[in-house]
């Protein structure tokens, strides 16, 4: 490890049984302690499991490639197998075990917001959890069951790093007025104890206790006692075929449930290719003539799968056609520009502006709109299809209703405000008003 642990450990020795996939770990302060733990493990296998080690496979590190370790293996009749340097796949199961335990230990430590020095407790807890987890190689049995022929008891397991209210014996309390329990951090199961291992926050020491109340939603070392947020990564397959060009394995129909990956037109159509779609002609620009201006609004075909090898956007710009709209086939922005040009006196398509006609402002309080000027203006180059401006009041009213805008709002307000003759007028002498 890069950093020394809480108890000044710097290395870890992991041993994996190839038959039962059971794992053991030993914390080391120096690499030279490897041979001592190897002697202890050989004696443990003989006394506890009545088994002898036949072959010991390890990598080519200096703690294994030395005369003392080789003589120890020869004295016990154990064959040694050394993997080739930089060929870790020759000792694949042991290397995979180290990666698995490291991922589990780091994940638990990060979730509990513990420091780097607590890696030894998270590593030991990860080894304990690995031995109690079913694996596929053993037909979903646990390594503990494969080694001891009995199922493991998991009633003692709790969330690593959670808070616990630990009972303090009378000898541990400072005085009779001290509390009988204290909040600590759960660090797993200590080896050789019938109890739990805790980290005491008040003095920064390890405490072994047997009676505690666990709160698995509270983490004392995290800010505000809450875990760090994380994102759930699901393993469920997608419910639809996002890439229709990829071949689909019909042997796994149950992955999509009752819904097929794409719509089926008939039974004779091959399922591996989506239905073809007719080619869409290029849409002309807005200023050019569009077929929808002379014909009705064609029905929009339903969306279908596109048999295109290119996986890129095929969206095209379209011009909406609404024959029944007051705007016709042009956008309101273009019509507003034309209206502004007409008001300014510029005809469409001409560069010379006629003289402005005087406009009459509406009289306040009048219920009638100002009469239109006695002039009819016709735009020769106007291709919008609108009616020319006429002096008739009905034609002007129709134009206001069709175009809307500020003039139409002023016309409605003039119609809504009553005349001055309809309302009585009262006068008061402000000099005689009560103070």
pLDDT tens string 98-124: 999 999 999 999 999 999 999 999 999
The CA distance from 18 to 343, in Å, is 92
Residue 340 and residue 395 in one domain: yes
The CA distance from 132 to 109, in Å, is 19
Residue 85 and residue 188 in one domain: no
Residue 71 and residue 138 in one domain: yes
Residue 195 and residue 136 in one domain: no
Residue 392 is assigned to a structural domain of this protein: yes
Residue 46 and residue 117 in one domain: yes
Residues 6+ apart with CB under 8 A from 237: 255, 256
Q: Is the dihedral of CA 163, 169, 172, 177 positive or negative?
A: positive
Residue 256 is assigned to a structural domain of this protein: no
Residue 178 and residue 112 in one domain: no
Residue 138 and residue 177 in one domain: no
Q: In this structure, what DSSP letter does residue 417 have?
A: S
Residue 17 and residue 130 in one domain: yes
Instruction: Write the pLDDT tens digit of every residue in 352-404.
Output: 445 555 555 554 544 455 555 544 444 444 444 444 444 467 777 888 888 88
Residue 82 is assigned to a structural domain of this protein: yes
pLDDT at 300: 60
Residue 125 and residue 36 in one domain: yes
Residue 203 and residue 87 in one domain: no
Domains identified in the chain, total number: 3
Q: What range defines the domain where residue 64 resides? A: 11-148
Residue 242 is assigned to a structural domain of this protein: no
What residues are paired with 26 via a beta bridge?
Answer: 13
Residue 185 is assigned to a structural domain of this protein: yes
Residue 115 and residue 41 in one domain: yes
Helices (H) and strands (E) in the chain, counts: 8, 9
Domain termination site, one of 122, 148, 174: 148
Give the 3-state secondary structure percentages of the chain, helix then strand then coil, rounded to 5: 30, 10, 60
Residue 22 is assigned to a structural domain of this protein: yes
Residue 128 and residue 177 in one domain: no
Decide: helix, strand or coil at residue 213: strand
The CA distance from 47 to 41, in Å, is 10
All residue ranges of the chain with pLDDT < 70 are: 1, 228-329, 345-392, 417-428, 435
Residue 56 belongs to what H/E stretch?
strand 55-58
Q: Is the dihedral of CA 65, 71, 75, 77 positive or negative?
A: positive
Decide: helix, strand or coil at residue 27: strand
Residue 231 is assigned to a structural domain of this protein: no
Residue 314 is assigned to a structural domain of this protein: no
The CA distance from 388 to 65, in Å, is 103
CATH code for position 130: 3.30.420.10
């Amino acid at each position: 490890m890069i950093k020394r642990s809480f108890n000044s450990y710097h290395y870890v020795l992991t041993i994996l049984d190839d038959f039962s996939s059971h794992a053991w770990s030993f914390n080391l302060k120096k690499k030279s302690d490897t041979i001592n733990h190897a002697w202890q493990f050989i004696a443990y296998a003989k006394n506890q499991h009545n088994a002898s080690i036949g072959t010991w496979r390890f990598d080519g590190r200096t703690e294994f490639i030395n005369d003392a370790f080789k003589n120890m293996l020869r004295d016990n009749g154990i064959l040694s197998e050394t993997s080739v340097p930089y060929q870790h796949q020759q000792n694949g199961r042991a290397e995979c075990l180290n990666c698995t335990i490291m991922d589990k230990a780091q994940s638990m430590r990060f979730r509990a917001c513990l420091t780097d020095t607590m890696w030894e407790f998270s590593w030991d807890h990860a080894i304990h959890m690995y031995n109690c987890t079913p694996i596929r190689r053993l037909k979903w049995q646990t390594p503990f069951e494969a080694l001891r022929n009995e199922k493991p008891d998991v009633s003692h397991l709790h969330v690593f790093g959670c808070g616990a209210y630990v009972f303090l014996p009378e000898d541990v309390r400072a005085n009779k007025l001290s509390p009988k329990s204290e909040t600590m951090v759960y660090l797993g199961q200590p080896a050789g104890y019938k109890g739990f291992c805790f980290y005491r926050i008040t003095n920064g020491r390890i405490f072994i206790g047997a009676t505690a109340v666990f709160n698995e939603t509270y983490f004392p070392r995290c800010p505000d006692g809450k875990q760090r947020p994380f994102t759930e990564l699901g393993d469920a397959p997608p419910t639809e075929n996002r890439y229709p060009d990829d071949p689909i394995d019909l042997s796994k129909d149950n992955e999509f449930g009752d819904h097929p990956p794409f719509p089926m037109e008939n039974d004779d159509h091959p399922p591996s290719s989506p239905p073809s779609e007719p080619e869409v002609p290029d849409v002309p620009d807005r200023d050019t003539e569009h077929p929808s201006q002379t014909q009705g609004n064609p029905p929009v075909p339903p969306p279908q799968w596109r048999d295109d090898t290119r996986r890129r956007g095929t969206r095209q710009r379209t011009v909406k056609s609404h024959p029944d709209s007051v705007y016709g086939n042009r956008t309101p922005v273009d019509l507003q520009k034309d209206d502004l040009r007409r008001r300014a006196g510029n005809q469409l398509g001409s560069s010379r502006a006629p003289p402005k006609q005087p406009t009459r402002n509406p009289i306040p309080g009048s219920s009638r709109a100002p009469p239109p000027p006695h002039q009819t203006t016709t735009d020769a180059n106007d291709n919008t299809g609108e009616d020319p401006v006429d002096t008739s009041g009905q034609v002007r009213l129709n134009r206001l209703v069709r175009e809307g805008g500020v003039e139409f709002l002023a016309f409605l307000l003039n119609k809504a405000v009553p005349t001055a003759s309809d309302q009585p007028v009262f006068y008061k002498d402000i000099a005689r008003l009560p103070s």
